[in-house]
Amino acid sequence: MSDFLNQINRRKFILTAGASAGAIFLKGCLGNPPDSTGGNSQAIPTAQQVANLTPEQKPETETVKLGYIPIVESAPLIIAKEKGLFAKYGMTKVELAKQASWGAARDNVEIGSAGGGIDGGQWQMPMPHLITAGLITKGNKEIPMYVLAQLVTHGNGIAIADKHKGKGLGLKLDGAKSLFKELKSSTPFTAAFTFPHVNQDLWIRYWLAASGLDPDADVKLLTVPAAQTVANMKTGTMDAFSTGDPWPFRIVNDKIGFMALLTAEMWKNHPEEYLAMRGDWVDKHPKATKAILKAVMEAQQWLDNFENRKEAATILAGRKYFDLSSPEILLDPYQGKYDMGDGRKIDDKLMAPYYWKDEKGSVSYPYKSHDLWFITENVRWGFLPKDYLANNAAKAKELINKVNREDIWKEAAKDLGIAAADIPTSTSRGVEEFFDGVKFDPEKPEEYLKSLKIKKAGV
Ligand code: CA
């Protein structure tokens, strides 16, 4: 199925590319090997190729600064840069700035590149919405942000410290409830994520609550930087870590812990991280924004061709980017192969990270229905007031309509020559189903909330 999908993707991509300036990309870029340090490859298009842009396509600026975190979610940005795709669309001076933490990324987007920060980049959800509403910014300043594309699905999981091996900690926790109860009376089970109220926090909460555990009462959850969490898991002071590749592989490989689950098992084809930028930057540079999007879309298509994944791993592992001891660390996860570290092995291409397209359709397109799920979970856990969901989620939808710019995604996709069949016609992906049988109908977020047994919001 997956190979079939990839063949289709590849065929469509070649057809698309052949119909546009992409023919140059295929000849000029795909054949260039990356250098082993993950440094700049020779793939930067020539001035001639850049000059082929029509006046409508020529960006208002060639410069932009995008933040990223060194996990697989950032791959489309890095590949777009290293394969010369940003430059191909006239963005010859894209700077990718590695962020020390999600908090740093938030601080940097608050000041923008003019203040030495960033114009946008990679985000967990719903960070762009929370920044727009002034809920996680200094002095609660509202800084409008636009969500432009989803970067990836899958590629995340929940790691557990080695000392808990064999105690029933898996996707379902029925066999581990006494362990949580026992720990609660002394030192509660402690789990970390890298930023509160967003994906990694929400994944771990969903997982616990699905098994009847209350994440606010039965465990201790806190924000800890990735490296610190791993160090704490080694010394036994941290029990779990909700995180993205390559961390799960490293944790298992270094015998620090094992994987209780992949997020792909919890919610197949789930929304993960996104490309979002400051609204003022996008408003001022509409053509540059589309150029960035086109480059990211091409990078996503390139990444979904599994034949390219070895090369992708080599580029990402480079010193400048993830700085991994070996690209091997990314290779197995990139093929859907996960050694969970507790004897369980997953070998299923459909569990791998996807960037452009998955079994359910577009990965890159930012569905508003997914924004709504992230907002709904924020209401569920009391991070957002429940009036966001009142009157058929009017307040949530108002915020989503301000932030989610799927209209720009569509324009860029059309410009790029993407087949109409690959451009979603609805902003809703429809009803979503989770591993525990719970369903989220984006038409009825309040009913979803009511149906959940464990929550903080009084509905
Ligand atoms: Ca993630």
Superfamily designation of domain 156-268: Periplasmic binding protein-like II (3.40.190.10)
Between CA 190 and CA 201 the distance in angstroms is 13
Whole-number Å distance, alpha carbon 380 to ligand 1 midpoint, is 20
Measure 266 CA to ligand 1 centroid, in angstroms.
Answer: 14
Ligand 1 centre from 411 Cα, in Å? 27
Q: How many angstroms is it from 121 CA to the middle of ligand 1?
A: 14
What pLDDT is attached to residue 458?
Answer: 76
How would residue 37 be classed by pLDDT, with cut points 50, 70 and 90?
Answer: very low
Band of residue 1 on the pLDDT scale cut at 50, 70, 90: very low
Using the mean position of ligand 1's atoms as its centre, give its distance from the Cα of residue 123 in Å. Answer: 9
Q: How far is the CA of 72 from the centre of ligand 1 (A)?
A: 8
Return the domain boundaries, the chain: 3-154+270-338+351-366+404-428, 156-268
The class of domain 3-154+270-338+351-366+404-428 in CATH terms is: alpha beta
Distance 74 CA to ligand 1 centre (A): 10
* pLDDT at 9 > cutoff 70: no
What's residue 14's pLDDT? 38
**Interatomic CA distance for residues 363 and 8, integer angstroms:** 15
**pLDDT band at 27; cut points 50, 70, 90:** very low
Tell how far the Cα of 209 is from the centroid of ligand 1, in angstroms. Answer: 20
Distance 410 CA to ligand 1 centre (A): 24
Question: What average pLDDT does this structure show over 362-367?
Answer: 98
Residue 390 Cα to ligand 1 midpoint, Å, equals 29
- Identify the band that residue 20 occupies on the pLDDT scale cut at 50, 70 and 90: very low
Ligand 1 mean position, distance from CA 284 (Å): 29
Measure 242 CA to ligand 1 centroid, in angstroms. Answer: 9
Compute the distance from residue 141 Cα to the ligand 1 centre, in Å: 26
Mean pLDDT confidence for 42-67: 81
Measured in Å, residue 225 CA sits from the centre of ligand 1 at 13
pLDDT tens, 282-302? 999 999 999 999 999 999 999
Q: Give residue-wise pLDDT tens across range 63-103.
A: 999 999 999 999 999 999 999 999 999 999 999 999 999 99
pLDDT higher at 39 or 81: 81
User: Does the fold of domain 156-268 match that of domain 3-154+270-338+351-366+404-428?
Assistant: yes
Top-confidence residue, 113 or 329: 113
Mean pLDDT on 302-309:
98
Distance 15 CA to ligand 1 centre (A): 32
